[in-house]
Amino acid sequence: MTAPAKIFLVDDDVLAQIMVGDIVDQLGHHFSFASDGASARKVLEEKAFDLVILDRRLPDTDGLLLAPMIQAEKKASFIVLSSLDSPNDQVLGLGMGAIDYVCKPVEPVVLSARIKACLAAHRKPEETLLSVGASLQLDTSLRRLSVAGRTETLSPAETRLLVCLIRGVGQPCDRMRISMAICGREWVYGDRTIDVLISRLRRRLRGSSARIITVHGLGYSLIDEE
């Protein structure tokens, strides 16, 4: 049986505190919270968590500024829970390491499903070294991409996307599958997050025999032209 997870909410919204606390309790995990960035930093200095849920609009800071501290502590994962819901905000959050970006308002049942998916993904052991041909190698544990004689460090979202493409190399990956792999949620028409991340990965793969092609009307595919 899996041990209960430790979940930490950083949000000054009392209703959000009550909702998330109830969800975590129903899931059988441990819950704690802070209402501002300063208090959250003190807690994070003293305790480790399996999952942190961050609001963006804290009284004293943007919650995303806590991301480096969260990830430094045993590579903890975090979700953004925010009313800032533009595509640019979501791309920013995922680019800074969030494993999901949940927009307020959200139904408790939906947030519960997101939390369960994120915990499952974070705890699931997986192969750490993936390769395509001789020119591309990805160390998922370090998020380190070795390609065409150079090494680059990917963002968490870029890493999850590339893992999804590598595991289906030569086969088309639809947007729904990619979205679930990146952040554990269904793709919504008009969401440009995947396209932005694909563009970044294409630049990183320059000089390699592996490249990402567009499968019109469906999604994307990673192919090896070696």
Are the CB atoms for 159 and 170 separated by under 8 Å? Answer: no
CATH code of the domain containing 142: 1.10.10.10
Looking at the fold, whether 113 and 204 belong to one and the same domain comes out as no
pLDDT value for 127: 58
Looking at the fold, whether 94 and 158 belong to one and the same domain comes out as no
Looking at the fold, whether 167 and 193 belong to one and the same domain comes out as yes
Looking at the fold, whether 150 and 203 belong to one and the same domain comes out as yes
pTM of the model: 0.59
Looking at the fold, whether 62 and 40 belong to one and the same domain comes out as yes
The DSSP annotation for 136-151 comes to EEEETTTTEEEETTEE
Looking at the fold, whether 102 and 118 belong to one and the same domain comes out as yes
pLDDT value for 1: 43
Q: Dmax of the chain from CA atoms? A: 56
What average pLDDT score do residues 66-83 get? 83
Looking at the fold, whether 15 and 90 belong to one and the same domain comes out as yes
Looking at the 3D structure of the chain, how many domains does it have?
2
Query: Average per-residue pLDDT in the chain?
Result: 87
Are the CB atoms for 10 and 54 separated by under 8 Å? Answer: yes
- Domain end, chosen from 123, 139, 168, is at 123
End-to-end CA distance of the chain: 45
- Domain end, chosen from 123, 144, 172, is at 123
pLDDT value for 214: 92
Reported confidence tier of residue 34, pLDDT bands at 50, 70, 90: very high
Cα(92)–Cα(99) distance, rounded to whole angstroms?
12
pLDDT value for 164: 86
Q: Which range of residues forms the domain containing residue 16?
A: 6-123
In a domain, 1, yes or no: no
18-32, 112-126, 190-204, 212-226 — most confident range: 18-32
In a domain, 197, yes or no: yes
pLDDT tens digits, 3-12: 789 999 999 9
Looking at the fold, whether 51 and 135 belong to one and the same domain comes out as no
pLDDT value for 213: 93
pLDDT value for 87: 87
Looking at the fold, whether 164 and 190 belong to one and the same domain comes out as yes
Cα(166)–Cα(118) distance, rounded to whole angstroms?
21
- Domain end, chosen from 123, 143, 175, is at 123
In a domain, 86, yes or no: yes
pLDDT tens digits, 113-168: 999 888 887 665 555 788 887 778 999 888 899 988 889 999 888 888 898 898 88
pLDDT value for 126: 52
Looking at the fold, whether 28 and 101 belong to one and the same domain comes out as yes
In a domain, 190, yes or no: yes
Looking at the fold, whether 141 and 72 belong to one and the same domain comes out as no
pLDDT tens digits, 178-200: 887 776 666 777 778 888 999 99
pLDDT tens digits, 51-65: 999 999 999 999 999
Reported confidence tier of residue 94, pLDDT bands at 50, 70, 90: confident
More confident residue, 178 or 76: 178
Percent of the chain with pLDDT over 90: 43
Looking at the fold, whether 65 and 157 belong to one and the same domain comes out as no
